[in-house]
Amino acid sequence: MLRQAAMTRHFTTDLDVSAEEQSAILQLAAAMKAAPGEHRERLRGATLGMIFQKSSTRTRVSFETGIGQLGGRGIFLSARDMQLGRGEPIRDTGAVLSRYVDLLMIRTYAHRDVQALAESSRVPVINGLDDVYHPCQVLADLLTIRERKGALQGVQLVYVGDGNNMAHSLMLGGGLAGLHVRIVSPREFAPNATVVLEAQDIAKTRGSRIELTDSIDGVEGADVVVTDTWASMGQEEEHQSRLRAFASYQVDEAMMARARPDAIFMHCLPAHRGEEVSEAVIDGPASVIYDEAENRLHAQKALMAWAIENS
C-alpha cells in the first residue's frame, strides 16, 4: 500500500474541497488529458476498491480505466457479492477494506452510507454517486465547460428538470467554481432547501448566483443547458406520474432557442431520449454529451491522484 499521512482527504460531497483545490484538480485533469503518458506511473502500485450498490456504466469503466492509466489497479466490489449485501455494517466494511486498499469509491443510494464509509476508513473515500450528491459528474462537467467556454467564473448554467443529486451538485460544485447556476423545475420537484441555502452561501463568497424558478423562461441567456432523467434509479415506479409533471420541461429545440446562440447542451447520461431531451437536441450541434462523458475519466484520474497525494 502507498503510505498514508495523518489526515485523510475524502470527497463525499462537492464541498470537501476548497475553491482553490477544485481549480487545481481541474487543472491537473486538463494536464492528464493533454499528456496521459506523463502520468502513467503517478499512482504506481495503488489499489482502488470500487463498491457498487447501484449499477453503472460510466462510473465503473472510468474509475477502473483511470486507476490503471495511473499505474494502479481497480477491484470491482458488487454489494450483492460482499458481506455488505448480507447485512455487514458499512462501517465494518470500511474499516476492513481500508487496510487492504489505498482508495475507496462507492456508488450507492443513501448518503449516510458514504459518510459511514468515510468515517471508518483509513484511506480516502470518493462518492461515485448517491441519492443526494453526484460530485464526480460535476467535476467532469466543469472540465467540459472550461474547455468549451474558456473559463468558469461568470458562466450561466441552467439546469432543467428534477431537483435531484445532479441539481444539488451542480449548485454546490458550480457555485464553488464561480458559475451562476439556475435550477428550472416544477415546484414540487425543487432541490432540497438545505442544499440550496448551502450553495447560495458558497456562491456569495465566489461572486456567483444560485437561483430557482419553475418557469422555463429561466433558460433565457443560458451559456450551458443541462438536464437529467426525470426518474432516477430507484424511482422507476414513479415514472408515469413524473412524465406528466415534467411534460413542459423537455429540453427541445424551442427551449434551446431561449439560450444564448453559442450555448452548449449537457447530460450526465444515460438519457431517456424523447423524454427529458429531444433527439434533435441530444444529437444536435450544441450537444457535448460525449466529451462530457469522456471527461469523467480525466477528472477522476486527477481526483484520485489529489486524494492520495494529499492524504
Q: Is residue 310 part of a domain?
A: no
Looking at the fold, whether 209 and 86 belong to one and the same domain comes out as: no
Per annotation, catalytic residue among 10, 180, 267, 296:
296
Q: Is residue 24 part of a domain?
A: yes
CA nearest 192: which of 160, 218, 168? 168
> Hunting for cell 496521459 — which residue is that?
36
How many domains is the chain partitioned into structurally? 2
| pLDDT of 6 | 57
Taking residue 30's Cβ as centre, other Cβ atoms within 10 Å add up to: 17
Looking at the fold, whether 28 and 77 belong to one and the same domain comes out as: yes
- What is the C-alpha to C-alpha distance for residues 293 and 307, in angstroms, rounded to an integer? 21
Per annotation, catalytic residue among 53, 115, 228, 250:
228
Looking at the fold, whether 36 and 119 belong to one and the same domain comes out as: yes
CATH number at residue 301: 3.40.50.1370
Looking at the fold, whether 180 and 121 belong to one and the same domain comes out as: no
Q: Is residue 155 part of a domain?
A: yes
- What is the C-alpha to C-alpha distance for residues 15 and 116, in angstroms, rounded to an integer? 17
Q: Is residue 311 part of a domain?
A: no
Q: What contacts 147, CB < 8 A, 6 or more positions away?
A: 30, 291, 295
296 a catalytic residue? yes
Per annotation, catalytic residue among 131, 168, 268, 300:
268
Looking at the fold, whether 199 and 244 belong to one and the same domain comes out as: yes
Give the orientation angle of helix 135-149 with respect to helix 19-34, to 10 degrees: 70
Q: What contacts 263, CB < 8 A, 6 or more positions away?
A: 222, 223, 224, 225, 256, 286
Check: pTM over 0.85? Answer yes or no.
yes
Looking at the fold, whether 113 and 185 belong to one and the same domain comes out as: no
Looking at the fold, whether 49 and 196 belong to one and the same domain comes out as: no
267 a catalytic residue? no
What average pLDDT does range 271-291 have in this prediction? 98
What is the tens place of the pLDDT at every residue in 184-236?
999 999 999 999 999 999 999 999 999 999 999 999 999 999 999 998 766 67
206 a catalytic residue? no
Looking at the fold, whether 87 and 197 belong to one and the same domain comes out as: no
What average pLDDT does range 251-256 have in this prediction? 98
Q: Is residue 221 part of a domain?
A: yes
53 a catalytic residue? no
107 a catalytic residue? yes
Per annotation, catalytic residue among 107, 168, 180, 182:
107
The one-letter code for the residue type at 225 is: V
- What is the C-alpha to C-alpha distance for residues 300 and 291, in angstroms, rounded to an integer? 14
60 a catalytic residue? no
What is the tens place of the pLDDT at every residue in 6-46?
589 999 999 999 999 999 999 999 999 999 999 999 999 99
What average pLDDT does range 258-264 have in this prediction? 98
Looking at the fold, whether 215 and 300 belong to one and the same domain comes out as: no
Q: Is residue 2 part of a domain?
A: no
Per annotation, catalytic residue among 53, 69, 137, 156:
137
Q: Is the pLDDT of residue 2 over 60?
A: no
Domain that holds residue 185: 135-292
- What is the C-alpha to C-alpha distance for residues 17 and 13, in angstroms, rounded to an integer? 8
Q: What contacts 164, CB < 8 A, 6 or more positions away?
A: 131, 191, 228, 232
